[in-house]
Chain A
Amino acid sequence: DSGVTQTPKHLITATGQRVTLRCSPRSGDLSVYWYQQSLDQGLQFLIQYYNGEERAKGNILERFSAQQFPDLHSELNLSSLELGDSALYFCASSPRTSGSDYNEQFFGPGTRLTVL
């Protein structure tokens, strides 16, 4: 158990809909990262938040957005869903603050999103 929780575990929805994925980081970790894992793209970094602020952005679509709340949990919002958005979405947290490139990440179990 990594200490990172994600809900829901599975989500099935239709094209055009909007969903929210939730993540609670490990106790004490200020950084939260979102990743998308699909068969054709592998593991793609989407976005990072640190202590409530957006810190880094990866291959995140404009239809997707995220936020981190004062209690440090994070939500990833996916809107105008398309078939191609079907994937596993992982949240990770890390204790890394700054000053080093070393970045051990602790991953949650993921949310499997199916868009029909």
Chain B
Amino acid sequence: GEDVEQSLFLSVREGDSSVINCTYTDSSSTYLYWYKQEPGAGLQLLTYIFSNMDMKQDQRLTVLLNKKDKHLSLRIADTQTGDSAIYFCAETKGGSYIPTFGRGTSLIVHP
């Protein structure tokens, strides 16, 4: 299997919460990241979490990390149409600072 796995699509209604999930295989992951890619643009870092943390909140974004299950999630509260994009989970691990990216989850927000 792949090192970092994500579901490919998520569809939500405007105003609802979105939860994008990611699983990773390497327990030596030190930092986990969420990047956003809007149409026609490159990836942009949204937030990250260090592996000794369980949760990180940044305005509408909440990152949850379950190290035991190697599961990372990104919750977007009050999802807006402008949040429609592809969201990539990534990790860096001890001894390797080159991020490994998941395939990305396409978030579609409909009215």
Contacts and interface: CB of A to CB of B under 8 A. Distances in A.
Contact of B44 (A2, A45, A58, A100): A2
B62 interface: no
B98 A102 contact: no
Interface in A66-111: 90, 92, 96, 100-110
Interface of B: 30-31, 33, 40-45, 48, 50, 88, 92-104
Contacts of B98: 33, 45, 48, 56, 58, 103
Task: Tell me what chain B mostly uses at the interface: helix, strand, loop, or mixed.
Answer: strand
Interface of A: 2, 4, 33, 42-43, 45, 48, 56, 58, 90, 92, 96, 100-110
B44 A42 contact: no
Contact of A110 (B42, B45, B93, B103): B42
Quick one: which of A33, A45, A104, A105 has the most chain B CB within 10 A? A105
* SS class, residues of chain A in contact with chain B: loop
A100 B97 contact: yes
Nearest to A107: B42
Nearest to B37: A107
A39 B51 CA distance: 30
A101 B42 contact: no
